[in-house]
A and B are shown apart, each in its own frame.
Chain A
Amino acid sequence: MAVRTGGVRGAALEIDAVTKRFGAFVAVDDLTLDVPSGAFFALLGPSGCGKTTTLRMVAGLERPSAGTVSLAGRDVTHAPAHRRPVNTVFQSYALFPHLTVLENVAFGLRRRRARDVRARALEALELVELVHLAHRRPSQLSGGQQQRVALARAVVNRPALLLLDEPLGALDLKLRRQMQLELKRIQAEVGITFVHVTHDQEEAMTMADTVAVMNHGRIEQLGAPADLYEHPRTAFVANFLGQSNLVAGTVVETLDAGTTLGVDVAGVRVRVPAARTVAAGPRVLVGVRPEKIRLLGGTEDAAGGDNVLGPGTVVDTSFAGVSTQYQVAVDGLGTFGVFAQNVGGATVHPPGSRVHLAWAAPFTFALDGHEEVAAGTVDLDDEP
């Protein structure tokens, strides 16, 4: 079969109207997704959102209930996994315990009867800096080393598409950061299309050039990380990708020739750029990211054109090195998160201080007011 030839440098992936049901449960719901050739694409979502199922359907380990999966323009929906020019770095690594590191890496090459198997496998091990462990068994390696073997075992085949299923999940934070950079470097070096599944929004944002946020088997929003972060279109995205402060409001007027909306938030007028407003009706959720907010003590004044809410009481102050994170209970509105950069001379507001919240109006966004304010907030019990 022609699909098997691989070596296609970075094929485009098209998922068209794919649905996957397990009994009555719809894991993936009419999903359509285009991943351009050579992209580093992240599927981001909480556990159970259907991202891993999507990945498994692309790998051929799961058959869609409906829809088609195409690679480089070729329909592979019904091709078995071993005939797809796709390789996966599994969450559990799934290294073969009875084979050496070298033979693990050589496995795919041998199946395809490639030439210079040994040399190519060693080359791939060099890429992940593990040549010196080539003759060990996987069980003799640390988690990070195993992860790199899994990566080498996939990359060595030069697949048209590399799938990464939470590959860094088992690593500690520092190693994870290091591997994130490593993966980015390798992707740039080999030019393969990467599809990376993760529930870690920071990981998705740092690594991918396009992020699709998934929830309940559907894509909530898709775009460049900065775009998603600055222009969330749903409460789920606003909360899952970073943190957001969302409060209910009502649009009461249009200002500046329609480019700005005046929104009433608990009796206070807030200005929202019309371009950053998703809602159709007058009921909106007004949002602002915590790092955009400044805290004003009793004597300080807001700049002209700022949105100001308050007063409120600082209920928690945590020093986190680069920033200080505050929780401020604003009278009648609820608790706001605020991140203040620790730049020289910044005032620290101890718990109990009375403050106002101020931020530049252009940083405000507004979402449909019918949405759940807490959608997508990270529930600690929910994480694997």
Chain B
Amino acid sequence: MSVATALQRPGGAPGAAAGRPAPPGGAGSGHRRLIVPGVLYLLVFFVLPVGVLLATSFYARVPGGELGEFEPALRWQNYPEALAQFWPQLLRSFGFAAAATVAALLVGYPMAYVIAVRARGRPALQGLLVVLVVAPFFTSFILRTIAWKQILSDDGRVVGALRWLHVLPPDGRLSATSAAVVVGLTYSFLPFMVLPLFASLERLDPRLLEAGADLYATPLTTFRRVTLPLSAPGVVAGTLLTFIPAVGDYVNSSLLGNNTTTVMIGQVVDARFFRVLDYPTAAALSVVLMVSILVLVTAYVRRAGTEELV
């Protein structure tokens, strides 16, 4: 479909001008016009770039050309080559993102529960707590990540305490480790976990918890059988909103990791694009990342069966 027809169709009537009969039931065209700005925006800033990216991923090196010189081609070998070289970083990205998502869920669920259920009926306190969850967004993402570098530094209190507790060996460290990257990712995306959880727990009817207790369920069973399933839509939304950006993140792995064993795919893409000027590989990796996230997310949402839930 050309951009022109795509633009005309939401309007309904102009479709006829393009030599086609207006689609049946196109009466409520006034409302459909409302999506035009959104569609336009996505076309220019999403569909078009993705098209460019896809095309770039098949580019071939110009024979005898300079560094960074490529020509349009259909070189599908870019994909197997990129995967053969960077599969460890790709897998690691999914591993780190999964670990960070689980950690964010474990930390975020109790937070959301306290804000939504325990602070219920105290709107001032509830508002304050929600603001606190969002507060990190008021400072720069980079700055916050650098702060974590300080927190986790070898002579910092956290490492000191962990050594004293024998969680870390006497010469153990956190800076420039996988753990540091996962901690950073967890922290960065925690609000994206807490907010959807809060939204779904806020609707939880406390009388259902009483009914659980009345029907012989211990508080833990009531949580497992009533609270958790009822907050499942929030869990699904929160995990997606945490996992998806975490997979592609490169700030945390760049600032909190080392340059060998903690490298994530985002870092690779960044390096391929801007340092090595290997655009086709970078583009191919980006496409692989997008497609794998799409497949994973689809499978996850299917399995979670959100449409079954109230």
Identify the A interface with B (CB < 8 A).
Answer: 4, 59-61, 80-83, 86-88, 90, 92, 94-98, 107-108, 111-112, 137, 139, 153, 157
Q: Which residues of A sit under 8 angstroms from B216, Cβ to Cβ?
A: 4, 82-83, 108, 111-112, 157
| Residue interface mask B205-238, A partner, CB < 8 A = 1 | 1011011111111110100011001101000000
Q: How far is the CA of A95 from the CA of B309 in the complex (A)?
A: 14
Closest approach, in angstroms, between the C-beta of B121 and any C-beta of chain A? 13
Contact partner of A82 among B205, B213, B310, CB < 8 A? B213
Q: How long is the Cα–Cα vector from A88 to B213 in the complex, in angstroms?
A: 10
State A87–B189 Cα separation when bound (angstroms): 43
A-B pair count, CB < 8 Å, reads 65
Contacts of B226 in A (CB 8 A): 96, 98
Given A90-B210, A92-B207, A94-B210; A107-B217 close (CB under 8 Å): yes
- Chain A residues near B221 (CB-CB < 8 A): 111
Count of residues in B whose CB is under 8 Å from the partner chain = 21
Distance, CA A297 to CA B210, complexed state (A) = 59
User: With a CB–CB cut-off of 8 A, which chain A residues contact B207?
Assistant: 90, 92, 94
Chain B residues lying within 8 Å of A88, measured Cβ to Cβ, are: 211, 214
- B210 — which chain A residues lie within 8 A by C-beta? 61, 81, 90, 94
Asked whether, in the complex, the Cβ of A86 is within 8 Å of the Cβ of B214, the reply is: yes
Complex A-B: 10 CB contacts under 8 Å: A59-B214, A81-B214, A86-B214, A90-B210, A94-B207, A96-B226, A107-B215, A108-B215, A139-B310, A157-B215
Minimum CB–CB distance for A152 against chain B, Å: 12
Most buried by A among B211, B218, B309: B211
CB-CB nearest in chain B for A113? B216
Residues 143-186 of chain B, each 1 if its beta carbon lies under 8 Å from chain A, else 0: 00000000000000000000000000000000000000000000
What residues of B have a CB within 8 angstroms of the CB of A80 in the complex? 213
Q: Which residue of B lies closest to A86 (CB)?
A: B214
User: Of A61, A82, A90, A97, which is within 8 A of B218 by CB?
Assistant: A82
- Pick from B216, B226, B229 the residue with the most CB of A within 10 Å: B216
CA–CA, A107 and B224, complex, Å? 13
Shortest C-beta distance, B202 to chain A (Å), equals: 15
Q: Which of B85-128 contact A (CB under 8 A)?
A: none
Q: In the complex the two chains form, is B213's CB within 8 Å of A61's CB?
A: yes
**CB contact between A98 and one of B211, B213, B230 (< 8 Å): that residue:** B230
| A98 CA to B308 CA, complexed, in Å | 8
How many angstroms between the C-alpha atoms of A83 and B214 in the bound complex? 8
A90 and B211 within 8 A (CB): yes
A116 to B211, CA, bound (A): 22
Cα-based distance from A82 to B226 in the complex (angstroms):
14
Contact between B310 and A97, CB atoms less than 8 A apart: yes
> A107 and B225: CB pair below 8 A?
yes
B213 contacts across to A, CB distance below 8 A: 60-61, 80-82
Q: 11 other contacts beyond A4-B216, A111-B221, A157-B216, with CB at 8 A cut-off? A: A61-B213, A82-B213, A82-B217, A86-B214, A94-B205, A94-B208, A96-B211, A97-B310, A107-B217, A108-B216, A111-B215
Determine whether the beta carbon of B230 is less than 8 Å from that of A87. Answer: no
Question: CB-CB < 8 A to B230: which residues of A?
Answer: 97-98
Q: Which residues of B contact A107 (CB under 8 A)?
A: 212, 215, 217, 225
Question: Which residues of chain B come closer than 8 Å to A94, judged between CB atoms?
Answer: 205, 207-208, 210-211
Across-interface contacts of A82 in B (CB, < 8 A): 212-219
Tell me, rounded to whole Å, the shortest Cβ–Cβ distance linking B229 to chain A.
5
* Chain B residue contacts of A86, Cβ below 8 A: 214
B229–A98 contact, CB under 8 A?
Answer: yes
User: Which 9 pairs across A and B sit closest by C-beta, in order of nearness?
Assistant: A108-B215, A81-B213, A94-B211, A111-B216, A97-B310, A94-B207, A98-B229, A88-B214, A82-B213
Write the nearest CB–CB distance from B194 to chain A, whole angstroms: 22
CA distance A255 to B229 in the complex (A): 73
Which residues of chain A are near B229, meaning CB under 8 Å? 98
Which of chain B's residues has its CB closest to A138's CB?
Answer: B310
Interface centre among B205, B210, B215, B226 (most CB of A within 10 A): B215
Residue ID in chain A nearest B229 by CB atoms? A98
CB-CB under 8 A from B310, the residues of chain A are 97-98, 137, 139
Within B61-97, which residues are at the interface with A (CB < 8 Å)? none
Determine the chain B residues whose CB is within 8 A of the CB of A59 once the complex forms. 214
Given contacts A61-B210, A90-B207, A90-B211, contact A98 B309 (CB under 8 A): yes
B291 to chain A, nearest CB (A): 33
Q: How far is the CB of A341 from chain B (nearest CB, A)?
A: 44
**Assembled-state Cα–Cα distance A80/B211 (Å):** 13
Residues of B within 8 A of A139 (CB): 310
A105 vs chain B, min Cβ distance (A): 10
| A60-B213, A61-B213, A107-B225 given; A96·B218 CB < 8 A | no
Residues of A within 8 A of B212 (CB): 82, 107
Contact A96 B208 (CB under 8 A): yes
Q: How far, in whole Å, are A169 and B175 apart by their CA atoms in the complex?
A: 63
Question: In the assembly, what is the distance between CA of A296 and CA of B232, in Å?
Answer: 71
Task: Determine how close the nearest CB of chain B comes to the CB of A83; give it in whole angstroms.
Answer: 8
CB distance from A97 to the nearest CB of B (A): 4
